[in-house]
Amino acid sequence: MSTIRGGIEQSRERLVALILLLQRAWSDGRPLTQEEIIRELKVDEYPASSKGPKKVRAYEGNEGAVRQKFERDKARIRDLGFDIETVTLPDDSIGYRIDPASGYAPVIHFDEDEQRVVQLSLRFCGFGSSGAFSVFNETPASEGGLEFSAYYTPVVRALKTRRVLRFYYQSSTNKEREVEPLVIDVLNGISYLVARVRGTGEIKGYRFSRMTSMPEVLGDSFEVDDVVLEVARAWRAEFQKEPTPIDVVVTTNANYADLLVRQFPGALAATKKEGRVEVGVSFQSPRAALRFVLEAAERVRLLSPKSLRLELAQWLKRVNRGEVPSLGSLKFSTPTSSDVLGETLQLLHAVYLSEDGLRISELATRFNLSREHVRLIMDRLSSLEPMAESNDGSGLFPAHVIKDCDDWDHEETDDSTYRADFIDEYDEPSALMWRDLFELNIALREASRVYTDPAIYSAIDKIEDVARDFVQVELANEAMLSLVQQAIDQHEQLKILYAPASAEGASERTVEPREIKVLNGHTYMRAFSTNRGSWRTFRIDRITDIVARSPASEERPGDDVVNWLTQVGDEGEEVVVIVEPYARYLFEPLPSSQWLALADGRHAVKFRVSDESFLDHLMVLAGPGAVVATEKFATAGHELARHIAATL
C-alpha cells in the first residue's frame, strides 16, 4: 500500500493548482501569464513545527530556478495528456490556458444498470489502477489485460480535430515521426494508431507501447476522404507495403493441430501416418511466419518453405548469445514513483461520480492508498484557492470538493466524506479523460462476449456517440469463455477436457476457476486444480469440452502468485536482459520492469521472474535481439532452442 512520500506534497499541490487554474483561465477567457502565476500562485506548506498549514508562494527561488520549475510543471501536465495553449496577449506578453475538452471526454451519464455493467466489465478486463477501474470499482485493480497508455488522450484530440501528430517512435531506431492520424485500432488486445505518413500516401500502424514521447498535436490540419479511411480501417499489423502470402506447412499431433485450426481461420489439416497431422497456415509476412513457428516451439516440425527453415536455423543458433556489459556498470534509476498529479485527479473523478460522496476509507480501498494519504490529498482539494485574491474568490473554482465530518473535534482521525458540489448541470465537469473512455469501450465490448445485458449495449452506444468515428475494436472470441465465466460467477467446479499444446490428446481435469485475464489476444483463466492440489493457469481456447459442472463445496488455499498471467512481477529472481531496439516490444509489457539506454544503442531491462520456462520462451522469441546479462540465467533459452532445431 502506498504511503505519503516526503517532499512531494507541495509539488502535488502546486501541480494540481496549476492545472485547475489554467482550466479556469479557459472558462474565464483570460489567459494567465507566467509572471502572474509565479508572482501570485500560493499553496499550503505544513512546517514541522506547526500543526496547521501556512500559505507560501508556489514558485520561490532565483529567477532561473523558478522558471525551470515552471517549465518542468508544464511538461508534466502535458505528459498527462492536457494541451496547454499558448496565447499572445494584446501587450505581446504570453498567456497560458487549458481547454478542459483537450483532456476530458464529454460528460456521460450512466444510469444505474449501466453503472453496474461498467463495474462488472472493468473487473472482467482488470485494467490497471491508474485507469478507469479505480474510478468505478470499490477494490484495487489487478494487473491489466490490455496495454494502457496515457498517449490516447492527445491522439484522440488529434483524431477529432483532424490535426497532425508529432512523436518519437522506436522501431529499428528511435526517431521523430509526423503523421496524419486516421483511426485507433485494437487488434487482439494490442492498440495501434493507424495514420498516414505526412507528405506521402503511405498508411502505417504505430503501436502505442512503442511511442517514446507524448504525442504533440500540431496546428496543421489535413483532409481525408472515405476511401482513405476505409483503407485505414482495413489495416492489419501483419501488412507490408506489398504483402506476399507465405504458406507454412508443419506436422504436429492431432491435439495441437486442432488448436491451430481453431486459432487460424483458413488453416487446413490432413491426417498422415502414425496419427501425425499436417497443417498449412498462410501468413502475410516472413516475420509473422517465423514467430508462429517459434511460439509453437518443439510442438511442431516445420516442413516448408525451405527459406523459412534456413532462417529459423540461423535464428536459433543466436538465441541468448552476444556481448553483455558487466552488471556493475548498469545503473538503473529507482522505480518511478506514482504520478502524483494523475493520482490526485483520479481521486477527484471518483468523488465527482459518486452522488452521495465517498469516505476516506472507501477511497483508500479503491486506490490502494493509506488513509493518511487520501486525507492529505482531499483536504487540500477541498480548501484549494490558488490566486483567489486575483480572481475574486474561488466560488467557481473547478475542484468543487466539500468535506463532511462526523466528528469535527477529531477531524484528523474522522472517516470524513468528500462530495462534489455543482451549481447546475452545466457546471458539472466530466469525470473521464479520453483514455478512460477508451478503456471503458474496450471493457464493455469484451464483456458483451460473455454477458447478455441490454445495459452493456446502451453504455457502449453512449460512449460511441462521441468516439465511434475514430476507434475500432476487434477481439478474439473463444467459445468456452461464457461457460467459464458462469462458473466463476456461480462458484462452480468444472470437469473439463483440456488439451495442453505439448500433449498428444486431451486429458480430464477438475478445476475451480476464479479469474479471467486477456493477454496478446488469448484469454486465460486462473483455477484451482484438484488433480494437482494447487493453482494453475489454463488457456481457455484449449478447453475442448466441459464434461460436468457442480457447486464448489470446499475452501481452497489462497493463490500466492500475484502476477499469475506472466509469472513476472515483484516476486521471483531479478534478471537483466540487454535488448536490441526492435525487440523491445517483447519485454515492454512485463510488470515492474525498469529500462536503461546504453551507449551502443541497445537497451537494458531489469525485471523479476519466478518461472524459468517463461524466460526460456521469451529469449527464444527475442532471438538475436536479446542476451541475458545475469550470470545465473546466461544459458536461458539454449536448451529450448536446441529442441526446436532438432525438429528441422
Please check whether residue 208 lies inside any domain of the structure: no
Q: Would strands 94-98 and 32-33 be described as parallel, antiparallel, or unpaired? A: antiparallel
Residues 385-395 have a mean pLDDT of 50
Same domain, 573 and 506: no
Residue 500 in grid coordinates: 495442453
**Confidence bin at 6 (pLDDT 50/70/90):** very low
Residue 337 has pLDDT above 50, yes or no: no
Same domain, 542 and 577: no
Share of the chain above pLDDT 70, in %: 79
Residue 50: predicted pLDDT? 47
Residue 512 has pLDDT above 90, yes or no: yes
Q: Where are the beta strands (DSSP E) in 374-483?
A: 401-404, 417-420, 471-474
Same domain, 576 and 626: yes
275: helix, strand or coil: helix
**Confidence bin at 38 (pLDDT 50/70/90):** confident
Please check whether residue 41 lies inside any domain of the structure: no
CA distance 578 to 574: 14
Which of 518, 551, 584 is where one domain is finished?
Answer: 551
CA distance 346 to 432: 9
Same domain, 488 and 509: yes
Residue 427: predicted pLDDT? 60
Please check whether residue 583 lies inside any domain of the structure: yes
pLDDT one-digit tens code per residue, 250-268: 998 887 888 788 777 788 8
Please check whether residue 592 lies inside any domain of the structure: yes
Same domain, 490 and 513: yes
Residue 365 has pLDDT above 90, yes or no: no
Which of 523, 551, 579 is where one domain is finished?
Answer: 551
Residue 333: predicted pLDDT? 59
Same domain, 571 and 545: no
Residue 648: predicted pLDDT? 77
Residue 459 in grid coordinates: 453504455
> How open is the CA angle 540-541-547, to the nearest 5 degrees?
70
Please check whether residue 524 lies inside any domain of the structure: yes
Please check whether residue 591 lies inside any domain of the structure: yes
Are 58 and 43 in contact by the 8 Å Cβ rule? The answer is: yes
Q: Cell 455543482 sits at which residue?
A: 422
Please check whether residue 500 lies inside any domain of the structure: yes
Mean pLDDT of the chain: 79
pLDDT one-digit tens code per residue, 130-174: 667 777 777 666 544 455 566 787 888 888 889 999 998 877 677
Same domain, 593 and 538: no
CA distance 249 to 305: 7
Residues 501-520 have a mean pLDDT of 75
Same domain, 642 and 571: yes
Same domain, 591 and 612: yes
pLDDT one-digit tens code per residue, 97-106: 988 777 777 7
Same domain, 546 and 569: no
Distances (CA, A) of 232 to 151, 190, 195, 237, 241: 20, 16, 7, 11, 13
Which of 507, 523, 551 is where one domain is finished?
Answer: 551
Residue 5 has pLDDT above 70, yes or no: no
Question: Which of 17-31, 216-230, 573-587 is the most confident on average?
Answer: 216-230
Residue 544 has pLDDT above 90, yes or no: no
Residues 596-625 have a mean pLDDT of 85
Annotate 15-81 with three-state secondary structure. Answer: HHHHHHHHHHHHHHCCCEEHHHHHHHCEEEECCCCCCCCEEEECCCCCHHHHHHHHHHHHHHHHHCC
**CATH code, domain carrying 589:** 3.30.70
Choose the weakest-confidence range: 177-191, 238-252, 431-445, 616-630.
Answer: 238-252
Residue 7 has pLDDT above 50, yes or no: no
**CATH code, domain carrying 495:** 2.30.30
Residue 186 has pLDDT above 80, yes or no: no
Higher pLDDT among residues 473 and 483, named by residue: 483
Please check whether residue 447 lies inside any domain of the structure: no
Is residue 286 within a helix (H) or strand (E), and if so which, with residue range? helix 286-296
Residue 352 has pLDDT above 70, yes or no: yes
Neighbours of 117 (CB within 10 A): 23
Neighbours of 453 (CB within 10 A): 17
Residues 275-295 have a mean pLDDT of 83
Residue 514: predicted pLDDT? 87
Choose the weakest-confidence range: 157-166, 303-312, 335-344, 396-405.
Answer: 335-344
Residues 197-226 have a mean pLDDT of 87
CA distance 347 to 364: 9
Q: Tell me the helices (H) and strands (E) count for the chain, helix number first.
A: 19, 27
Same domain, 530 and 572: no
Higher pLDDT among residues 430 and 397, named by residue: 430
- Give me the domain span that covers residue 599: 564-646
Residue 639 has pLDDT above 90, yes or no: yes
DSSP characters for 343-386? HHHHHHHHHHH-TT-EEHHHHHHHHTB-HHHHHHHHHHHHH--T
Q: Which candidate, 458, 376, 464, places its Cα nearest to that of 118?
A: 458
Look at the chain and report how many structural domains it folds into: 2
Same domain, 524 and 571: no
